A = this chain, B = another copy of it.
Amino acid sequence: MNETIETILNHRSIRKFKDTPLTNEQINLIIEAAQQASTSSYMMAYSIIGVTDKEKKRALSEVSGQPYVYDNGHLFVFCADLNRHTIKADQNDYEQMLPNLENSEHFLVSAIDAALASQNAALAAESLGLGICYIGSLRNDIEKVDEILSLPKHVIPLFGMVMGVPAQEPDKKPRLPKKAIYFENEYQNHESELDEFDEAITEYYKSRQSNQRTDSWTDQMLRRFKKPMRMDVTDHVQRKGYNKR
């Protein structure tokens, strides 16, 4: 077990931070780390916005419904970005590029590029003793986030990430058994592994330090998917010229 793997295995999301902003040196190192992630065909199809303006932070915190989107050491927003690739295009080039740029393939490419960069950023931060939490809840009102950050066409906000000096030590959250997510050579039935996990997770929710409850993973997921949520993401994405064809 080396330091990198220890950092990876020690991850838990941190939602309460000390009142210490990240230093510029930390931010620079974290961005450098993000940028060194693999990128599909050298597209580097993402942008990162660091939000320090208090009004903007407050507004983003309201979109997410989470106080720690305001109270943290730094807030990043990771965006899929296919705008950069057309900046130097003339009108003729641009029109030729659109059918390709606006298909599902490049929606995937940009989301994956951004995610790989973000995970490097997360681990770099954690290796420096900082805590992090991904903020998917910015997509509660993706249109509003787009406005707050003045994003042009072909740029969409995917998720935020807050960082800071941890002011809590949450339990490590259990994961699915390996057999339920890793298969050899082809996809396999893993119903019995889900049963096993449901038992384990029910036990975990009953016995953890805070926020105890009776629940299973399967039930959580059924409830989640039965309640329509963020149905406007589809329209927003298409309006910004993504994922159209």
Interface residues of A (CB under 8 A from B): 2-5, 7-9, 11, 13, 28-29, 31-33, 35-38, 40-44, 46-53, 56, 79, 81, 84-89, 93, 96-97, 99-101, 103-105, 107-109, 111-112, 114-116, 118-120, 122-124, 126-128, 132-134, 136, 139, 148-152, 155, 158-159, 173, 175-176, 178, 180-187, 190-191, 194, 217-218, 220-222, 224-231, 233-234, 237, 243, 245
Which chain B residues lie closer than 8 Å to A96 at the CB level?
A: 225-226
Secondary structure call for the A interface: helix
Residues of B contacting A101 in the complex (Cβ-Cβ under 8 angstroms): 225
A123 pairs with B8, CB closer than 8 A: yes
- Are the CB atoms of A181 and B33 closer together than 8 Å? no
With A46-B181, A84-B180, A96-B225 given, name 17 new contacts (CB 8 A): A2-B127, A5-B124, A8-B36, A9-B33, A40-B159, A41-B224, A44-B181, A48-B183, A50-B183, A87-B191, A87-B218, A88-B194, A97-B226, A100-B227, A108-B111, A116-B118, A119-B119
Residues A115 and B119 in contact in the complex (CB < 8 Å), given A187-B47, A187-B155: yes
A51 to B194, CA, bound (A): 23
Given the known interface contacts A85-B221, A89-B222, A229-B100, the answer about A5 and B33 at a Cβ–Cβ threshold of 8 Å is: yes
Residues of B within 8 A of A134 (CB): 38, 40
